[in-house]
Amino acid sequence: MSPQETGLIAVNAKKLLTFAGIALVLFFVIAQPGQAAGLVGNIVGFLRSSAESVITFVSSVFKG
């Protein structure tokens, strides 16, 4: 198998996994909209908390 064919297979696998992931997310949103919204809320809350922790750490480092 040539390197070009191997790269083509990798790209096709990546596209297939991307489409499968999108389809799974859409199915979850359509089948369980309340739980999907709760999951997104939890993710946003986690990201916000993480950002606040990083800001606190950086502020502490430069204060003193």
16-62 confidence digits (pLDDT tens): 999 999 999 999 999 999 999 999 999 999 999 999 999 999 999 99
Report pTM. Answer: 0.61
Burial letters 16-50, b for 16+ CB under 10 A, else e: eeeeeeeeeeeeeeeeeeeebeeeeeeeeeeeeee
> What pLDDT, on a 0 to 100 scale, did the predictor assign at position 7?
66
| Rounded CA separation 29/6 (Å) | 35
Q: What's the farthest any 2 CA atoms get from each other in the chain?
A: 59
Residue type, 49: S
> What pLDDT, on a 0 to 100 scale, did the predictor assign at position 5?
60
